[in-house]
């Protein structure tokens, strides 16, 4: 996978996660906090990925 393709995948994943978090904030489900925490953790890992890849390259 090329750096550009990896960046595109990460950008797309971040957009999907951002939309999901936005939608969940409007819900009043008991499990929303747990799901939001998980998505925020995943988002943090994905957001850090390009910086880590730049250090390796």
pLDDT at 23: 77
The model's pLDDT over 21-54, given as tens digits with 9 standing for 90+, comes to 787 777 666 477 777 887 888 888 788 765 555 5
For 6-27, what is the mean pLDDT? 80
For 3-16, what is the mean pLDDT? 80
How much is the CA Rg of the chain, to the nearest whole Å? Answer: 14
φ, ψ of residue 28 to 5 degrees: the values are -120, 45
pLDDT at 30: 47
19: how many CB neighbours lie within 10 A of its CB? 10
Q: Which distant-in-sequence residues (6+ apart) come within 8 Å of 19 by Cβ?
A: none
The answer, yes or no, to whether residue 55 has pLDDT greater than 60, is no
């Amino acid at each position: 996978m090329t750096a550009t393709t990896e960046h595109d995948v990460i950008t797309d994943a971040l957009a999907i996660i951002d939309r999901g978090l936005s939608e969940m904030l409007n819900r009043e489900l008991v499990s929303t906090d747990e799901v939001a925490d998980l998505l925020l953790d995943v988002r943090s890992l994905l957001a850090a990925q390009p910086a880590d890849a730049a250090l390796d390259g």
